[in-house]
Chains A and B, each alone.
Chain A
Amino acid sequence: MILEGVQQAFNLLFSLDREMYTIILLSLAISLLATISAGFLGIISGILISISSFRGKRFIKKCIFTLMGVPPVVLGLLVLLILAGPFSNLNLLFTRTAMYIAQTLLVYPIITGNIIISSEKTQQQILETATTLGASKKDKLILLLYETKPFILLSLILGFSRAISEVGAVMLVGGNIRGETRVMTTYIALNTSMGNYAASIAMGIILLFLAFLIHSLVSRFRGDFYD
């Protein structure tokens, strides 16, 4: 059955089915936008948290690390309740914007947490070295952004992976509406529940291929200087 499904999947892939390609583009667009937004906020806050000393730093780090593992469906429920409650007048529920908001909130702690974890030690050594060479605060920040580039890119990859593979939150706040809010993961979930395995396998193959392609592209720029 699996082989038959794979064969049907390839037929579907090369049939240039419009709905399928709309779903792929929507998935990519929302996940990329969410990763860029969360990345912008996460890179700045991750670096600031790791280089600063302030009261409550440990507590904030614990909160971020906890949120890194939050179940997407729980976050989706939270966004749904907010959009259906206090912000119901904005009419955002079951829209692409709601999916973007949910994914951004899901990805933000992953990017921030990974930047804090992976670069804290390196940052300290870089900052101390820059201080001995007479660097100003601005020089240090520029240097830090440049030197932590591998960790930043790694965090962005992890964030994007989480966004594009996520199903629970986007299903809850997007509603899986055909032609509107249906993305690759919700398409797979729907077709699997209907017994339409060929379509699910086809979308699964595309999802894996896209993830592989993006990881390969980013790792070319990441380098492994501090490994």
Chain B
Amino acid sequence: MIKLEHVSTPYPDFSIVFPNVVFPKNKVTFVTGRNGVGKTSLLKAIAKLIPYEGVIEYTGFATYHFQEPILFNRSVFDNIIYPLKIRKLAVSDYQDNLYAYAKILGIDQLLQRSAKELSSGEKMKVSMLRSILFSPTILLLDEPTTHLDLESIEQLTELIRVLKKDMTLIIVSHNKAFINSLQDFNYHLGGSHVYR
């Protein structure tokens, strides 16, 4: 569960104020709203990537997945296991999940390739797998379908259904079919900007 109370994200000329809300555990909540209302700011505040005022409460680790993900200059496999390495976790303990998730996403044949050789869609999938393999409790996805074709969106949908059993997911998306196939809750932002 994630609880937001009187949260606002300050910028030099204005602040975005968010309504109080609770995101239920092990559910998929879609955050919707027009461009510029603060959807990405909300996810980044929850992931503590940007400063915010107010209270954001949750237990565990929240990982934010970028709309335009960056892969590191190494193989696909080494990219995926990077979070395990920095946590000094044994890769062998996560190997089953790694191959299972890679198969769902259709990237199991790419593991030994260099990350720089991948297409945008493949990079998105690899980055997704890197974000989930170490089992974060909260997954924040920012427009995850941006570079994906229809088949890939279906693969991602299947993966999210699997992840939902152990994770709380908050997703920003404008893709109606994707939203309809996964949505447990919807958090619509109307946009409340306070200018200085």
Chain A residues within 8 Å of B, Cβ to Cβ: 125-126, 128-129, 131-136, 139, 143, 146-147, 149-150, 223, 225-226
Q: Nearest Cβ in chain A — how far from B136, in angstroms?
A: 8
The answer to whether B73 and A225 have CB atoms under 8 Å apart is: yes
Closest Cβ of chain B: how far from A135's Cβ, in Å? Answer: 5
- What is the CA–CA distance of A132 and B40 in the complex, to the nearest angstrom? 14
Which of B59-67, B165-173, B176-184 lies at the interface with chain A?
B59-67
* Cβ-defined contact, B86 with A225, below 8 A: no
B residues near A126, Cβ cutoff 8 Å: 70, 72
Contact B73 A132 (CB under 8 A): no
Number of B residues, CB within 8 Å of A: 19
Q: How far is the CA of A225 from the CA of B116 in the complex (A)?
A: 6
Within the assembled complex, what's the spacing in Å between the Cα atoms of A123 and B51? 19
Known: A128-B49, A147-B72, A147-B73. 8 other contacts (CB 8 A): A129-B69, A131-B49, A133-B82, A133-B83, A134-B134, A135-B86, A139-B86, A143-B72
A134-B66 in contact (CB<8A): no
Number of A-B contacts (CB under 8 A): 44
Interface residue B47 (Cβ < 8 Å from any Cβ of A): yes
For A132, list chain B residues within 8 Å (CB): 47, 49, 63-66, 131
Q: Which A residues touch B72, using CB under 8 A?
A: 126, 143, 146-147
| B63→A134 contact, CB < 8 A | yes
Please indicate the chain B residues that have their CB under 8 angstroms from the CB of A136 in the complex. 86
B196 CB-CB contact with A under 8 Å: no
**Smallest beta-carbon distance B189→chain A, Å:** 21
30 residue pairs A–B, Cβ–Cβ below 8 Å: A126-B70, A128-B49, A129-B69, A129-B70, A132-B47, A132-B64, A132-B65, A132-B131, A133-B83, A133-B86, A133-B130, A133-B131, A133-B134, A134-B61, A134-B63, A134-B83, A134-B86, A135-B86, A136-B86, A143-B72, A146-B72, A146-B73, A147-B72, A147-B73, A149-B73, A150-B73, A223-B73, A225-B73, A225-B116, A226-B73
CB-CB under 8 A from A226, the residues of chain B are 73
* Cα distance A149–B131 in the bound complex, in angstroms: 24
Inter-chain CA distance A131–B72, complex, in Å, is 14
